[in-house]
Amino acid sequence: MERTVETTATIRSMLIPLALTQFVASYAASNMNVAINNIATDLGTSVSGVQTAITLFTLTMAALMIPGSKLTDIWGRKFCLQLGLIIYGLGALISTVANQLGVLIIGYSLFEGIGSALMIPPVYILTTVLIRDLATRARAFGVISGMGGIGAAAGPLIGGLITTVISWRASFLLQAGIVAAIIILARRIQDPRVEGEKPVFDIGGAILSSAGLFFVVVGILQAGTYGWFTATQDFSIGNTVIIPQGGISPVWLFIGIGAGLMLWFFLYIRSRERAGKEPLLSTRLFGNRTANLGLVTQNAQWFVLLGSSFVISVFLQVVRGYNAIETGLILAPATLGILISSARAGKMAQKFSQSILVRAGFVLTLAGIVLLLLFASSTSALITFVPGLFVLGLGVGIMLTASVNIVQSSFPEEDQGEISGLSRSVSNLGSSLGTAIAGTVLVSAVALGNQAYALALIVIALVGSVGLVASFLLPRDTGS
């Protein structure tokens, strides 16, 4: 393999475009939250329609991240990074001129989602293979993950400012500009050759995994229309009623199909391995207990971050009646919290093990949600949102980098392509589920105000609790 020179200047020149790539993808997942009313009015749709577009964006990333990661070993990491950036930029331009929800979904949900699935895996793979020193690599992951968290947290503030001063369309134009800058900066990145023969792309596995995730998330989105347990209206395909009103909600039909496809996917890749063929994802990746627990914490973290951002944004706009910039400013304490904890991530990693940081992060995050439940309501002063949002941001910022280090460092270099794709897929699935589940709980009963808001936050807290339990099952010396 080509020798890499780990000078400070070389690392910095590589990190800037990679960190910006993670930033813009995370920003895209949250900046729309504060412009929900503006977008819905402009495109003649509803809050649920915009929620669908946001959820489909993160779902597209989650569904295609594993296939996208595999392509990095076939087409080359730098090539996939650049191709993904081009597709993403094209999607941003399409979204800028969208005149209806369908066009927005094509540009934002599909093109930007596909672009992200191609450009994000190389970010983590290149960082791993180009930086040999573990301490330096940990700091690099801290910068990249921190930029991801900042992008997600700052999205509402930046998006709110742009939406109020110019238009929500200008936010997509900003993304296109950032992508253009990244493409120029990324030309200097080295791409070490992958040793051995190039892997074969498993089309069957890609279809099964993508379809399984699609049905699960789309099924959850149906709860806003048909209810969670009992169908509130007939569910029909064409002129045929599949589930009559009063029957079991179609949510579970979709989830059942998705779960069946995911089981089929696992059996399929295992059978390919036994036949001596290369699967889309090696089953040995699921045999690493530490990595599995790390993936659970990643999923929970992004569920909490994107779910809370969506829920609070909708609550502030629909129930409290604030505009985009006001909503973004109210959410600013979460951004500040992530900025502070992310800036300290490197020094904290030198003093504490990664597992301890993940536990501390979940404790703070859950404490933030509790503060929001206790003090922030439809009639409370704006200051009541500050403590909860700030503590939540601190918690998320502490653990984002630590979880990435735990998962990526659990495997040797030859597995970095696959584990990077799996890791990013799990994280984006958390984002998608957070917007879909918590958002649907709120949107389906938004007229109830505080009750729906509180219920959505409780759902987020429950998922955060699952992450906390998983963090305590991690080995104590993980990443120390």
The answer to whether residue 2 sits within a structural domain is: no
- Note whether 360 and 241 are same-domain residues: no
The residue from 279, 304, 327 where one domain ends is 279
Domain count, the chain: 2
Q: What is the pLDDT of residue 480?
A: 46
Residue 235, H or E segment: strand 235-237
Q: Are strands 240-243 and 235-237 parallel, antiparallel or unpaired?
A: antiparallel
Task: List 237's β-bridge partners, or say none.
Answer: 240
- Mind listing the pLDDT tens digit for each residue in 365-393? 999 999 998 887 767 788 888 899 999 99
Among 245, 279, 313, residue at a domain's last position: 279
pLDDT of amino acid 145? 73
Q: Out of 9-23, 78-92, 264-278, which region has the weakest mean confidence (pLDDT)?
A: 9-23
> How confident is the model at residue 447, as a pLDDT?
45
CA 224 – CA 149 distance, rounded (Å): 28
pLDDT at 5 exceeding the cut of 50? no
Give mean pLDDT, residues 224-250. 83
Q: Could you read off the pLDDT of 165-174 as tens digits, one per residue? A: 899 899 999 9
Higher pLDDT, 479 or 192: 192
- Is the separation of the CB atoms in 300 and 430 below 8 Å? yes
Same domain (yes/no): 121, 235: no
SS3 assignment, position 108: helix
Same domain assignment for residues 247 and 287: no
Verify that 179 and 87 share a domain, yes or no: yes
What is the CATH classification number for the domain harbouring 350?
1.20.1250.20
Same domain, 404 and 347: yes
Query: What is the reported pLDDT for 191?
Result: 75
Cite the beta strand spans of 190-268 per DSSP E: 235-237, 240-243
> Is residue 234, in this structure, part of any structural domain at all?
yes
65 closest CA partner among 293, 393, 273, 298? 298
Q: Is residue 478 part of a domain?
A: no
Q: Is residue 480 situated within a structural domain? A: no
Domain membership flag for residue 3: no
pLDDT band at 339 (very low <50, low <70, confident <90, very high): confident
Q: Which domain holds residue 275?
A: 202-279
Does residue 170 sit in the same domain as residue 272?
A: no
Same domain, 166 and 222: no
Q: What is the pLDDT of residues 405-450, one digit of tens each?
A: 788 778 776 676 677 778 877 887 888 788 778 777 766 554 455 7
Alpha carbon separation from 412 to 121, 167, 416 (Å, rounded): 16, 46, 7
pLDDT score of 140 more than 90: no
Same domain, 207 and 195: no
Do 273 and 390 belong to one domain?
no
Asked if residue 1 is part of any domain, the answer here is: no
pLDDT band at 1 (very low <50, low <70, confident <90, very high): very low
Last residue of a domain, one of 255, 279, 303: 279
Q: Are residues 238 and 300 in the same domain?
A: no
Token reading at 304 = 């909490």
Is residue 434 in a domain? yes
Q: Look at residue 478 and tell me whether its pLDDT is greater than 60.
A: no
Q: How many residues does the chain have?
A: 480
Question: Could you give the angle at the alpha carbon of 165 between the alpha carbons of 162 and 169, nearest 5°?
Answer: 50
Within-domain flag for 309: yes
For residues 247 and 285, state if they share a domain.
no
Distance of alpha carbon 49 from alpha carbon 53, whole angstroms: 7
Most confident of 28-42, 186-200, 359-373, 428-442: 359-373
**What's the burial of 388, exposed, middle or buried (CB within 10 Å: 0-12/13-18/19+)?**
buried
Question: Would you say 423 and 298 are in contact if contact means Cβ atoms under 8 Å apart?
Answer: yes
